[in-house]
Amino acid sequence: MAKNELTTTTVDQFPALQQDSGISEMIVANAGEGAGISPQDLTTVPTPSGGGTTWQVPTIAGDEPTDELVGILAYQGVYGSLWPSEDPVEGTPPVLITRDLRVARRIGDDLGDLDEAELEKARRPDGLYDWKALSYTQMGTGKRGIGKRAKEGRIWALLRPGDVLPTILRIGPGSASKAQSFLMQLVNARVFYWQAVVGVSLKAATSKGGQRYSQHQYRLVERLTPEQGELIKATYTDVLEGSLGEEIVASGGDLG
């Protein structure tokens, strides 16, 4: 198939699209009633550092290299975090987290080099924080005056061919705007994201600060039928909407 040619996905590639697969019931039975799917249940594919262009997908048999991650976009969302340091130490929780880039809640008491007075300026009467009002979410507050001090990105869950559980992909600041642009292109193509089989590859790029990093590249590989998309939405999207978000933000990981 040519790289830009779109076709309808065959059900054989994705167990969840097979009639009477019972996957929804299997997830509920194995996870426990009301437990849903947590980030700890899913494999996260890290973005390589230093401008690497090959994914290393963790599998039961070891890491599997691939040039492109392909799968149904079963879930997508935004997230943000504000850490005590510009270079947070592993295991240290962020001070603030948000799953919508509008309202944040505080989970850490170690402020590091943050200013409590600056945080209080954005604190609401209900104790939560207005994310956009935080001085640390403004451009020019990052390292050497570049970008934002707060980390903002996206999280995608890709259901890869043959898999029953989706794979987590964190999209850091260096790729988040391209991801947003791609999602808007899906709107223009009249495709709900849960109807889209997407491909995510990597390109070496250089940040404004002169750091090499791996920038995500996105393409629409195939589209599902409306009926297949609704099955994905019911089985995965609606479930992940309630169980991901803040929990995966608080766990840290690759913010790019």
pLDDT, one tens digit per residue, over 109-153 is 899 999 999 999 999 999 999 999 999 999 999 888 888 999 999
The parent domain of residue 74 ranges over 11-250
CB atoms < 10 A from the CB of 139, how many?
9
Domain count for the chain = 1
Residues 50-73: what's their mean pLDDT? Answer: 92
How much is the CA Rg of the chain, to the nearest whole Å? 19
In a domain, 2, yes or no: no
pLDDT of residue 253: 46
Is pLDDT of 169 > 50? yes
In a domain, 5, yes or no: no
Q: Is residue 93 part of a domain?
A: yes
* 8 Å CB contact between 150 and 190: no
Give the burial string for 210-239 (b: 16+ CB within 10 Å, else e): eeebbbbbbbbbbbbeeebbebbbebbbeb
Nearest to 250 by CA among 141, 48, 108: 108
**pTM for this predicted structure:** 0.83
Residue 203: half-sphere exposure toward Cβ, Cα within 13 Å: 10
Phi, psi at 212, each rounded to 5°: -75, 135
In a domain? residue 121: yes
Q: How confident is the model at residue 207 (pLDDT cuts 50, 70, 90)?
A: confident
Q: Confidence band (pLDDT; 50, 70, 90) for 192?
A: very high
pLDDT, mean of residues 154-165: 92
Residue 19 lies in a domain: yes
Is residue 156 domain-resident? yes
Tokens standing for residue 130: 């207005």
Tell me if 1 is assigned to some domain: no
Written as six digits, the tokens of 93 are: 């929780």
Helix, strand, or coil (residue 253) = coil
Residue 1, pLDDT > 50, answer: no
Q: Name the more confident of 208 and 244.
A: 208
